Structure formats: C-alpha cells, structure tokens
Amino acid sequence: MSSATDRTSPPAAAGGGQVELAIGGMTCASCANRIEKRLNKLDGVTATVNYATETAKVTYADGIGSDELVATVEKAGYTAALPAPPHSSGALEGAEAGSGLEPDDDPARSIRRRLLVSAVLSVPVIAMAMIPALQFTYWQWVALALTTPVLLWGALPFHRAAWTNLKHATATMDTLISMGTIAAFAWSVYALVFGTAGQPGMTHAFELTIDRMDGTANIYLEVVAGVTTFILLGRYFEARSKRRAGAALRALLELGARDVAVLREGADGRREERIPVEQLAVGDLFLVRPGEKIATDGVVEEGNSAIDMSMLTGESIPVEVASGDSIVGATVNAGGRLVVRATRVGADTQLAQMARLVEDAQSGKAAVQRLADRISGVFVPIVIVLALATLVVWIAIGGGLTAAFTAAVAVLIVACPCALGLATPTALLVGTGRGAQLGII
C-alpha cells in the first residue's frame, strides 16, 4: 500500500481535537464501513467516514495523535491525508484546507478511458452472444480475444482492490466483481479448450427457458465484458457526480475578491497599495470602489453606498450602508466609494463559514445512510457464503458440477448492489453542491 501522507502532521492537541482526513482507495460503502470501525476501535476516538466525499471526520481525545489515526487507516489497506497546515490565506484556501479538494484532479478521467475502451470491445461480444445471426464460424474465439483485455485491463481496479482486501482478510463489492468475472472467464476458457464450446459452428441460442445441460458447451464471455463495462459506467457517473458537486462548492468559494486596495499611512498621508487578498490582515483599512467586490468582512469607516448582498441573502435589492455598518466579504459595492476596516479574514469570513457548513452537510451521514452502510458491511461475506452454499446444494441434489458452478457464478455476478451504499451520500453531495451553486444556502 502506498504511503499516505507527505504533509507535516500536527501533534495531538491537549484535550483532544477534531480533524478531517482525506481517504483514498475506497471503492464501495463496505470500505467506508470498515475504516469507520477501525478508527472507532481506538480509545477516545469517534469517527464518521463518508464514501461519497471520501473523507473521515474524526474527533479524538487527549493523547491520540493524528499520526496514529493515519496509521490506523493505512493498516486497513487504504490511504489517508491530513489537512494542510493553516496559513494566511483567502476564503478559498481556508475553506479547502481540510476538504481534500483538488481542482485539477479529475478521478473520472481514468475511469472514462477504461469505460470507453471496454465498451468498444464489449458491444460486439454481447451482440454475438445474444444474436445467433451474428455467430459466424469461430466467433467464440473472437469473443475470447475481445474479452481478455476487458478483464485484464478494464477490470484491473476491481482486481487490485480485491487483492488488497484479501491481504487484509476482508471482502468488499470489488471482491464480488473480481471473483464473478474471473470465474466466468475461467469457465469460458475451460469450455473452449476442454469442452465442446470451441468447436466450429458452435452457436448460442437466445432463450428465456432453463434446461439442464452440459455446461462445457456454453461460454459466459458476454457476462465478463458486460458486467465490467456496466460497473465501470456506474463508477464513472459516481465520479462525475462527485466532481460536479465539488466544482459547485469551489464556485461558491471563488466568489471572493482576488486582490484589494489597502490604505497605508505614510508621511504624506494615506496611500493606496493593491495587494492579494491573502495578505489582508484584521484591522487593515481597504478601499472599495463602485462595482468592486468587498474583499473581506468588515465595518464601514467612511462613505455611504448600496451593497448587493444577493449572494448571501438572495435579496435582489441592494442594502444601504453607512459609517459603522457591518458588511460581508464577496458582496458587491453597487453605489459609492467606501473605506472599510477588516474584521475577519481568510477562513474566519462568513463566506468561508458558509462553505464549511456545506462541507459538513456533505460529509455527514443521514440515518438511512448509516443503515445502508451497516448492511453493506455484512452483505459481501453473506453473498460469498450463499455462492458456496449454492455450489454445494447443486452438487448434492445431483445437478452436476458444471450446473453447480454456473449457478454459483450467477450468484456472485448478480449480487453487486453498489447503489445500496452510494445513493444517499451521493444525493446529499449533489444536492448541497447544487444548492451552493444556485445560492440556496
């Protein structure tokens, strides 16, 4: 497993504290449930892991260090990253410090590439298997050639995750996907090489009936290609939804000003100096001209104007302000010239606090999501037991080894309810992100 952090980790706080870890390597709700259990086993630790946002919000007691939290996640087979150390920054940096947001990192890109290649290879395999008219001589060997890269490359993330889980004596949805596709592919190769499925002129009739037959005359390559492609499609939509929700939150954070005209006292009186908003400090006087965004929260020292606060309140009518009135950063000066004294900067501004509230809503868990996570945590082992039981029962009732193996593989293939642990957190993630984008906070 790769190392988790390349950032300096803060020491344990006296009396404990709270930290939000960015978690890597999760592929389903079972992973989140497993990490959460590992963290909560530590004395004095209360953790909530959200699969959709890929974060872990951890409250820890005195004597527990952040390094210990990261190490616990790594021992479970995943990666964890601590938030960047705090420094003077604008609202964007301040609110993103612990969120793990990376504007240039698009997790959907690699999934999209695998999806497109797998789809191009899978469509002819599925078509040939389902439409007898397309089954030319030796079509089954062409299907094998097209399916092999789908299994070995397209489904590689599932196999890697399944191997990692196996090393830690656990199982997730990826375990079911990997086991099912490998078993179907292995059986197909066996039927082609040692059975009658590889003979010239072999055809698959498209039927909805179930008959007892020799399984060595059938191949399941379309199952391998189809399952891999459809699950990659689901993972792509999942990653894109997360990306769009994160982009909406970043759009909210980017509403703030980028630079500010600060008024400095000099020998000849006040002089104006334009600096990046990150360098603005509490107590600084800054100038806001008509049409400019207000750089940060503050109090009007000089001037009268009307402030467009629609970003904050949704009210389209500008609000009149005068000397002594408080104003909020990222709103727009719609009227006269103002001199403002900064009262809150960086992560303390109202805009940054709004962003943190959105992040808290996204990283929290609804009651129905907790129930789904608990079910997902035990679902995979139950399915594996059911598949083995199916194999044994079919053999015991005289169904034959081939029919028993086919039934066991079917149990593994159909039992991949990834939506069980994904629907609620993704809906919450996308809903809050869209709300931030539309100004509904």
Half-sphere exposure of 216 (CA within 13 A, CB side): 8
Distance CA(10)–CA(71), nearest Å, equals: 14
Residue 210 CB partners (closer than 8 Å, separation 6+): none
- Per-residue confidence (pLDDT) for residue 370, from 0 to 100: 64
pLDDT of residue 84: 59
pLDDT (0 to 100) of residue 93: 44
Q: Are 394 and 432 in contact (CB under 8 A)?
A: no
Which stretches of the chain drop beneath a pLDDT of 70?
Answer: 1-16, 52, 83-107, 206-215, 242, 244-254, 358-374, 376-377, 413, 416-430, 432-441
pLDDT tens digits along 142-154: 999 999 999 999 9
- List Cβ neighbours of 406 (8 Å cut-off, separation of 6 or more): 187, 215, 218, 220
At residue 113, the pLDDT reads 93
pTM of the predicted model as reported, rounded to 2 decimal places: 0.66
HSE at residue 65, side-chain half, CA atoms within 13 A, is: 7
pLDDT for the residue numbered 103: 45
Closest CA to 114 of 223, 239, 242: 239
The whole-number pLDDT of residue 354 equals 78
Distance (Å) of CA 243 to CA 82, 102, 431, 432, 437:
20, 10, 13, 13, 13
Cβ-contact 418, 173 below 8 angstroms: yes
Instruction: For residue range 16-40, list pLDDT tens digits in order.
Output: 688 888 888 887 777 888 888 889 8
- For residue 306, the model assigns a pLDDT of 92
**Beta carbons within 10 angstroms of residue 352's beta carbon:** 28
Pull the structure tokens for residue 429: 């993630």
Single-letter code of the amino acid located at 439: G
For tokens 């059938």, the residue is: 218
